[in-house]
């Protein structure tokens, strides 16, 4: 167990270890024993910045790193490439984060822990490099289409999202994510590559990185509505921490509909059924980006049935009850 005040070592490398080629996530510590910033000199600058493995159990980014190690072991990339490899210990254990650790994608704002100091150092390295763009690679724990998340409505950020997929999400909360921190000084996107282990997700991310590396500049105008179907997050669905949770047909304080995960990115109308509650008030709250409780605006509870009061689009709903308790059930969105 790391002591609370023990600094976290950050390694600096000028190559991707070739020992990663053919390896698996659980063996990452053999190649990268500490969080690392890897900087590859390319044919031109400034660099594309990648953030990988902020969540140790979201391994599409590991497979991207492995493929980049093979591709660029003998030749330079078309553009300088800087790569932050984050929670390597959790990756080796197959966990989002380890006991005693924070979530590595919730520490990119103010804080006094060694983990906050680590990412401040990473951010300063990036600022000095003046990145062309930043890409943070993630997986969803639930079944979702691939999509990109942006934190600024600038043309460059929106084009990054549209280059990845036609579906995009704009959010500003939580404000402690890597992409929000980096959007302060460069175009930034978080790409969501489906569920962990999805080979199509690995290849989609790699193809996207290839196209950004080859890009000379971003257009000055935003992509069309046909090129990017953009949503904004109106609230997180937070389950009462004291409530028991289950999927039907089990009995619990909150019984989630078995088909809930299939509703991700489906535009729902008022009356859509989501869950069953054991009390007359919903144990699932909708909290907006300013911390306001919007539950009564969005949810109706009638004879224990929780349904939508108004049209909304769910996203990132997960069946992983640990993540539901640690973070949230998912998000409600509306079209921009």
CA within 13 Å, CB half, 62: 31
**One-character DSSP codes across 142-210:** S----EEEESS--HHHHHHHHHH-SEEEE---STTSHHHHHTTTS-EEEEEEEETT-HHHHHHHHHHHH
Q: Which alpha helices (H) appear in the chain, and where do they start and end? A: 60-71, 88-93, 114-129, 155-164, 178-182, 199-214, 295-298, 321-326
Phi, psi of 202 (to 5 degrees): -60, -50
Is residue 301 within 8 Å of 280, Cβ to Cβ?
A: yes
End-to-end CA distance of the chain: 45
Rounded distance, CA 124 to CA 129, Å? 9
Q: Which domains does the chain have, with CATH numbers?
A: 11-227 (3.40.630.10), 233-335 (no CATH)
**Residue 254: closest CA among 274, 268, 234, 269:** 274
The chain-wide mean pLDDT, for the chain, equals: 94
- Cα Dmax for the chain: 65
Nearest to 56 by CA among 15, 3, 17, 102: 102
**pLDDT at position 252:** 87
pLDDT exceeds cutoff 80 at 144: yes
Paired strand residues for 49: 82, 134
CA distance 172 to 170: 7
**Cβ-count burial of 7 within 10 angstroms (0-12 exposed, 13-18 middle, 19+ buried)?**
exposed
Q: Do residues 148 and 169 touch, judged by C-beta distance below 8 A? A: yes
- CA dist., res. 273 & res. 281, Å (int): 15
pLDDT at 310 over 90: yes
Q: Is the pLDDT of residue 282 over 70?
A: yes
What are the tens digits of pLDDT across the range 92-106? Answer: 999 999 999 999 999
> What is the pLDDT averaged over residues 308-334?
91
> What pLDDT does 279 receive?
82
Q: Which value, to the nearest 10 degrees, does the dihedral of the CA atoms of residues 104, 108, 113, 117 take?
A: 110
| pLDDT confidence band for 266 (50 / 70 / 90) | very high
Give dist(CA 319, CA 76) in Å, integer.
Answer: 42
Q: What is the pLDDT of residues 2-50, one digit of tens each?
A: 545 789 999 999 999 999 999 999 999 999 999 999 999 999 999 999 9
Number of H helices, E strands in the chain: 8, 17
Residue 4 is predicted with a pLDDT of 57
Structure tokens at 21: 């080629």
Instruction: Identify whether the C-beta of residue 245 lies closer than 8 Å to the C-beta of residue 261.
Output: no
pLDDT above 90 covers what percent of the chain?
85
146-201 pLDDT, tens digit per residue, is 999 999 999 999 999 999 999 999 998 889 999 999 999 999 999 999 999 999 99
Strands 36-40, 11-13: parallel, antiparallel or unpaired by DSSP? parallel
> 269, 310 in Cβ contact below 8 A?
no
Closest CA to 275 of 288, 261, 265: 261
**Residue 11, SS3?**
strand
Report the pLDDT value the prediction gives residue 193, as an integer from 0 to 100. 97
């Amino acid at each position: 167990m790391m002591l609370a005040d023990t600094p976290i070592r950050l390694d600096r490398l000028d190559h991707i270890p070739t020992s990663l080629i053919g390896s698996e996530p659980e063996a990452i510590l053999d190649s990268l024993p500490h969080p690392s910033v890897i900087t590859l000199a390319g044919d031109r600058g400034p660099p594309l910045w990648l953030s990988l493995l902020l969540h140790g159990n979201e391994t599409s980014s590991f497979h991207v790193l492995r493929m980049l190690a093979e591709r660029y072991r003998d030749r330079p990339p078309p553009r300088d490439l800087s790569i932050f490899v984050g929670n390597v210990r959790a990756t080796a254990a197959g966990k989002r984060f380890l006991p005693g650790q924070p979530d590595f994608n919730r520490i990119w704002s103010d804080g006094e822990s060694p983990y906050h100091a680590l990412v401040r150092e990473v951010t300063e390295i990036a600022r000095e490099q003046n990145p062309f763009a930043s890409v943070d690679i993630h997986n969803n724990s639930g079944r979702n289409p691939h999509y990109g998340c942006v934190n600024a409505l600038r043309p460059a950020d929106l084009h990054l999202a549209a280059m990845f997929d036609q579906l995009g999400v704009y959010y500003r909360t939580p404000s402690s994510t890597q992409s929000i921190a980096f959007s302060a000084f460069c175009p930034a996107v978080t790409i969501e590559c489906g569920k962990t282990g999805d080979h199509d997700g690995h290849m989609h991310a790699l193809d996207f990185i290839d196209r950004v590396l080859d890009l000379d500049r971003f257009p000055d105008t935003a992509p069309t509505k046909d090129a990017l179907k953009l949503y904004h997050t109106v609230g997180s669905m937070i389950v009462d921490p004291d409530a028991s949770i289950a999927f039907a047909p089990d009995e619990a304080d909150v019984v989630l509909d078995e088909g809930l995960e299939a509703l991700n990115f489906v535009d729902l109308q008022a009356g859509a059924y989501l869950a069953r509650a054991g009390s007359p008030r919903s144990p699932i709250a909708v909290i907006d980006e300013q911390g306001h409780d919007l539950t009564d605006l969005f949810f109706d509870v009638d004879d224990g049935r929780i349904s939508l009061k108004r049209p909304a689009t769910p996203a990132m709903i997960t069946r992983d009850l640990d993540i539901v308790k640690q973070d949230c059930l998912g998000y409600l969105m509306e079209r921009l």
